[in-house]
Amino acid sequence: MPGSDDPKTLVRGPVTQVDASTIGSAADHRALPSTPDHYELGEVLGRGGMGEVVLARDPRIGRDVAIKRMLIADPEGDLAARFLREARIQARLDHPAIVPVHELGYDASGRPFFVMKRLAGTTLLEVLGARQTTNRLLRALAEVCLAIELAHARGVVHRDLKPANIMLGDYGEVYILDWGVARELDAAGEVHQTVEPVSSPGTTQLGTLLGTPGYAAPEQVRGEPVGIAADIYSLGAIMFEILAGESLHPRDTAAAVASTLVAPTIAPSARALRRTIAPELDAACLAALAADPKLRPTARALADRIQLYLDGDRDVEQRRRLATEHVARAREILAGGDPEQRATAVYEAGQAVALDPESQPARTLLMTLLVEPPREFPAPLVADLQMVEDELATREARGAMFTLATYFLFLPLMIWVGIADIGQVAAVFSLVALWIGYTLIVTRTKRRFILPILAFNITTMVLMSRLVGPFVVVPGLVVAFSVVSVQQAMLGRPYLVAGAGIVALLIPIVLELAGVFERTWHTTNGAFSIQPSALRLGSTEGAIFLVACNIAVVVVTTLLSDKVAAQRRHAQQRLAIQAWHLRNMLPADAPQPTFVSGPVARV
């Protein structure tokens, strides 16, 4: 745009171009009407080092606008020219993604101002933090690219493109903000700039690095003359952040400058290893971030590549090549034999299938990994299985707690039968109460311990033998406790559980034969009699008590067995459902998954 940067005349109405012929004398602006005479001013929307943006209403046509004005009254030198240059550049770029300028000039205090469309929406920076869908952000970026292409065609370089300077409107609009450091290209297609130490991150100031570290191109950071390729690099950095979910360079100013100079070009897929990034987008972003400005595409070319992807265009050959590479990496990982890397192998195989669903090697490898359990469980899987075990421990402990509480239902019946030794009865119920306390601890800590379980089983059986003798009720209780023990802590240790039950049955008999305990059973003339030492069972009430005890043992054992069977059935059904889902997800010629009907390992 030819002409001087010394604006001195108020320009009314839509502005498309301003040149020297529109500018009057230096003193004319003091006689012009002030801004409040034309607009009803509202709240301050934002304030920077040199200016502020104020919400206003234009009563002449009844619309809300935004007025950007300098904070300095009657500025000297070229400060006003620099300020109004932003308005003149925006006014030249008549694109839906560039905020239109309605009016510019000076107010009665000599402060330059310009009036813009009032925007409503959120910046791309805020949207990135909220993790919006990638395709929506890519569509917005494609529109930004086309607007920047228009600016480049008009000989303007923005020089400060970043997520904070892109606004997504409430109704689908996209706007490029802050053209304050934008400049026109010279005859050589370049803009010359001066670089001094950067004072603060995320800001752009006159006299400092013109641009934002982390988004500015390497040549821009070095202070070299920049052309339209500098904006392309900034667009590539924004695209990188959309795809990878993190910024290309560190947020810290000094670190961002160093990273830009040392490693300006990074593929999003190389940073976001656990994020699925389409190879077409990955390649487009990598091209925009080329260290050599001459190798970067135009803004329109970048927009076209993004739009082609959004329209469903795919590079089939590239995807097949990448799928083959993923399969090779997965097989290499499996050949290494490190169980901790199995999850990475599954991820690589999944990526291969996602890139090329028709690849038989990729499908076969993925299904093999999904169906066949690993020989050795990696630590993360062990941790997940332990969480499942802990949850089971909690549920089982609650069930055991209620089962043990039923013991106290027999206390009134024992009193009715007749208690011969209150100490032995108290010992039994004290032990049961102690065991209920232990199960409560298990529900809180989700940890089970083998030795306490075995000790409780044996001790309980010995004490119960004093109530009813070692040959009545006690064997049934041993069976019930064996079921509980296996269910709670000793799955896969049947011999240990059986051994503990046998010991629990033999100890009271041996102690009675050795004379340590009073004999509760006798054989006389071929007759076998039982006389417990703690209860009086030699009556009809005693017979009723024994029948009730045996019924309780049958009911409790049946309920426990049913619970175990139900859990097993539920687990088998879940495996069968998962296998059915996999069979229906895959093509007909893919290997069909099955499920393992038994435990594959113990944690």
Catalytic residues: 160
Helix axes 494-513, 450-468, angle to 10 degrees: 40
Task: Establish how many alpha carbons lie within 13 A of residue 238's alpha carbon, considering only the half-sphere containing its beta carbon.
Answer: 32
Please name the amino acid found at residue 380.
P
Task: Give the contacts of 541 (CB within 8 A, at least 6 positions apart).
Answer: 416, 417, 418
Q: 3-class DSSP state for residue 62?
A: coil
* Closest-CA residue to 191 (of 153, 142, 224): 224
Q: 3-class DSSP state for residue 432?
A: helix
In the structure, how many helices (H) and strands (E) does the chain have?
A: 20, 12
Please name the amino acid found at residue 153.
A
Count of C-beta atoms within a 10 Å radius of residue 409: 10
Task: Give the contacts of 500 (CB within 8 A, at least 6 positions apart).
Answer: 454, 457, 458, 482, 485
What is the rounded distance in angstroms from the CA atom of residue 117 to the CA atom of residue 105? 16
Q: Which value, in Å, is the radius of gyration of the alpha carbons in the chain?
A: 41
Asked if 310 contacts 138 with a C-beta cutoff of 8 angstroms, the reply is yes
* Closest-CA residue to 235 (of 285, 278, 176, 307): 285
DSSP category for residue 490: -
Please name the amino acid found at residue 317.
E
Count of C-beta atoms within a 10 Å radius of residue 151: 25
Helix ranges (DSSP H) in 313-378: 316-336, 342-355, 360-371
Q: Which helix (H) or strand (E) element contains residue 219? A: helix 218-221
CA 349 to chain centre: 22
Tokens representing residue 130 in the block? 């909220």
Asked if 533 contacts 518 with a C-beta cutoff of 8 angstroms, the reply is yes
468 vs 205, 262, 298, 512, CA distance in Å?
93, 85, 94, 14
